[in-house]
Structure 1
Amino acid sequence: MTGIDHDTAVEDLRDHLAAQLTRARRRSTALTGAVDDHDLVRQHSELMSPLVWDLAHIGNQEELWLVRDVGGREPVRQDIDELYDAFKHARAARPELPLLGPAEARGYVGEVRDKVLDVLAASPLEGRRLLDRGFAFGMIVQHEQQHDETMLATHQLRVGPPVLDAPPPPRGGPVGPAEVLVPAGPFTMGTSTEAWALDNERPAHRASTGAFHIDTTPVTNAAYAEFIADGGYRDPRWWSEAGWAHVRAASLVAPRFWAREGDRWFRTAFGVTAPVVPDQPVVHVCYHEAEAYAKWAGKRLPTEVEWEKAARFDPATGRSRRYPWGDEEPTGLHANLGQRHLSPAPVGAYPAGASPLGVHQLIGDVWEWTSSDFRGYVGFEVFPYAEYSQVFFGPDYKVLRGGSFGTDEAVARSTFRNWDYPIRRQIFAGFRCARDAEPGESA
């Protein structure tokens, strides 16, 4: 590459990073600007932080990594570092902290962003692993977008009149057979080349599965309602010991935000109550509910390895794609992402996003529970800090894959790994089922 070509590539990367930072901030501003200051400082659930904490935390992470580390600049507000350290204070305790008020938080994140754009303009975007291909800036974009999804979940828990608006998702369509056979054999899992991939997605490695069937679509509201009608929440046969204990302790009878009126189920979403849409993927179910439904249906949840193989493996070429549909970045034709809509889309709404094997809606709509515990891959290396992934490794957390309607495209890679406690229901999580292939079956 000539010097001119290199300089042009660096400038193009700077422009891209600036655009991604701006896009993320536009969403943060919309989510925090949709409510008044009283709502910003309130805690809408002990599971979540006040929205104003998320906003200032976004700015603090940006200051720590981009202003101080990458830029080598003087701190903007070193005195608030501990307040916005997610490991120092549990979410339930954050409203009692001396947090920045709404106006002060907005001023702080604005001042930090101005300095970050100055740092970006001067950065060579190479020479350190943290700078290579703009990784540190991409990490901060993803961090902000992840907190935007968290803030969207807080909006879902908020009580009051609707404040968010978006057009309805596209209509559903045909999806083919109910399940797809995935052939046995190896494939490349994870990544060593994706520029913004986080440490838990790395390194790329060979993984293998036996032949298995996976549902063509996520489990729908209509299908899940059959489980409820069949007494699924009252029958311990379908539940693990931990799941059955949780069902009884939490008095679960249906997905979160569902309510029965007469012979119909209704769901409240972002302040609007409406009949459950039968062909939309079920959302706001915990791991235990997903596992119980799968057992009731005569199936199981896919492992994380199976999920990624179904999402990425192209049997015609033997290679792993970046996304189910190919290597190009997602658009509104491929997947329901980025809060374009405020609900999952009906199954079959994104035929252009299907995998080579014909599996639909693996990216977007709902995070999908897998049966796998969250652990590092063989060859895992902490980068750039242990608190992002490593401290969560172990049997306490289950892996979710694929992203939801609230997940931004900057995050929604086929290699991206999410994780949470198996009892969590406030997240935009659903699932699809899998089962072992019968002896002699092959694709």
Structure 2
Amino acid sequence: MNDVKERIAAQLAAVRGRSLTYTDAEDDLLLRQHSALMSPLVWDLAHVGNYEELWVLREAGGITPLRPEIDDIYDAFKHPRKDRPSLPILGPGEARRYISGVRGRVLDVLDAIDLEDPDPLRRGGFVFGLVIQHEHQHDETMLATLQLSRQPGLVRDGELPPGRAAGPAEVFVPAGPFTMGTDTLPWAYDNERPAHRVELPAYWIDRFPVGNAAYAAFIEDGGYDDPRWWSAEGRRWRQESRAFAPLFWTREGGAWWRTRFGRMEPVPMDEPVQHVCWYEADAYARWAGKRLPTEAEWEKACGWDPEAERARRYPWGDDDPGPGRANLGHRAARPAPLGAYPAGASAYGVEQMIGEVWEWTDSCFLPHPGFRSFPYREYSEVFFGGDYRVLRGGSWAADPAVVRTTFRNWDYPIRRQIFSGFRCARSASPEQA
């Protein structure tokens, strides 16, 4: 097995170990639906195996289906999450046996496949990147489900570097073109392609994500009750949800507390705020006299190198993420303090754009010019339009295999159970531009 195949095999093993860790619990917890927003954990577990069977074994490997009778059960586009508990899903033991059987055959396909095959699904091992990223994305979904379960002791925690106060609060990004998207990153999804030139006027963007202390100031100033800061849709959401703070926050004894994976703890004021929806992010930005960055502004500040006139894979360059550059891969079950990763700064000096929290942008989820669906329409194309807002950057729960400067996530603007936060931007004045 060559080096590429060895790396793929190692990543397959790593992501499967992660999935099994998050589902190492009593059967009742795995079968229960903890929120109508989420699937039972055991549905996610069997779904990643079914997805792997569909794409690696059947499409790339030409292998006869193992369990065709469960395809409908694990079709995410046919069955909304709220309806999945009523399906005849596999129990925990059977799900583990099924995904293990699929994985053994997947490794046989990996051993036999020609990575120089001109077929785009096989070339460079794209199909393996597809299933690795897909499983990591479901692992992050499992973590969100575990957070909603409020069950203590199920999620490991770890140490993070300390934060720091560093430099100005905003970074200036000069006017000019940059290359958005990619044609070259081997496992990039269809919605990240093709690369194209975008011209932007000058703007300012926050050096760090908005922190808990700043967000608490917005709450204390009556931000949730002041209609000046909310769009019409945001006001309706606010009235219907009765939200008064980020999800999982409570007020006790004059201080803010949060529930984090079953533990009650004081809200750390030096961390990026998370579990806020797009409407909350938009309202805060208006209160602060700013706005949310567009998706293009976010990507330019994150990945563009103005001196080399090229896009970087990560803010700091093309080297893989390490523990000194970004908070990724569930090193700890929370965002790191603001200023914790100076070595992860972008060429413009913007920090913590990868890891910590998914960052809401002002943009709706739309195709890049010249977009073409691959390998199936339901990954991106069916979601294009005004219903979804784009998130960027990847959270502390995202694996390095999933994140890059071009990666695009999207969700409804009401969603708060995801590990979402934001940073603000503002247009430069004519004198500054």
TM-score normalized by the length of structure 2: 0.99
The CA deviation string for residues 180-228 of structure 1, in whole angstroms up to 9 with x for no partner, is 0001010011000000000000001101110000000000000000000
Please state if 1:243 is matched with 2:234: yes
Matched residue type, 2:330: Q
Quote the residue 1:202 is aligned against.
193
8 Å Cα contact 1:175-1:347 kept in structure 2: no
8 Å Cα contact 1:290-1:369 kept in structure 2: yes
8 Å Cα contact 2:293-2:361 kept in structure 1: yes
Measure the CA separation in 2 of the matches of 1:421 and 1:177.
32
Please state if 1:109 is matched with 2:99: yes
Q: 1:52 aligns with which of 20, 42, 45?
A: 42
Please state if 1:325 is matched with 2:334: no
Please state if 1:136 is matched with 2:136: no
Measure the CA separation in 1 of the matches of 2:283 and 2:310.
34
Measure the CA separation in 2 of the matches of 1:245 and 1:435.
26
Deviates more, 1:382-391 or 1:162-171: 162-171
Measure the CA separation in 1 of the matches of 2:65 and 2:133.
22
Quote the residue 2:114 is aligned against.
124
Matched residue type, 1:84: Y
8 Å Cα contact 1:168-1:342 kept in structure 2: no
| Structure-to-structure mapping, 1:207-218, within 5 angstroms | 207-218=198-209
Measure the CA separation in 2 of the matches of 1:436 and 1:232.
23
Matched residue type, 1:379: G
| Structure-to-structure mapping, 1:3-402, within 5 angstroms | 11-33=2-24, 35-125=25-115, 126-402=117-393
- Deviation of 1:413 (Å): 0.7
1:394 is paired with a residue whose SS is coil
- Deviation of 1:170 (Å): 1.6
Measure the CA separation in 2 of the matches of 1:81 and 1:114.
19
Q: Which runs of 5+ in 2 are unaligned?
A: none
Measure the CA separation in 1 of the matches of 2:48 and 2:357.
24
8 Å Cα contact 2:114-2:123 kept in structure 1: no
The CA deviation string for residues 204-257 of structure 1, in whole angstroms up to 9 with x for no partner, is 110111000000000000000000000000111000000011001100100000
- Deviation of 1:318 (Å): 2.0
Matched residue type, 1:352: A
1:346 is paired with a residue whose SS is coil
- Deviation of 1:135 (Å): 0.3
- Deviation of 1:107 (Å): 0.1
Matched residue type, 2:215: Y
8 Å Cα contact 2:210-2:272 kept in structure 1: yes
Q: 2:421 aligns with which of 414, 421, 430?
A: 430
- Deviation of 1:88 (Å): 1.0
- Deviation of 1:319 (Å): 1.7
Quote the residue 1:6 is aligned against.
none
Measure the CA separation in 2 of the matches of 1:63 and 1:70.
10
Matched residue type, 2:173: V
Matched residue type, 2:141: T
Matched residue type, 2:346: S
Measure the CA separation in 2 of the matches of 1:155 and 1:295.
32
Measure the CA separation in 2 of the matches of 1:347 and 1:202.
32
- Deviation of 1:15 (Å): 0.6
- Deviation of 1:69 (Å): 1.1
- Deviation of 1:155 (Å): 0.6
Deviates more, 1:350-359 or 1:160-169: 160-169
Matched residue type, 1:145: H
Quote the residue 1:419 is aligned against.
410
Deviates more, 1:313-322 or 1:253-262: 313-322
8 Å Cα contact 1:216-1:359 kept in structure 2: yes
How big is the alpha-carbon RMSD for the aligned residues of Structure 1 and Structure 2? 0.8
Give % identity.
60
- Deviation of 1:315 (Å): 2.2
Count of matched residue pairs: 432
- Deviation of 1:304 (Å): 0.1
Measure the CA separation in 2 of the matches of 1:405 and 1:20.
18
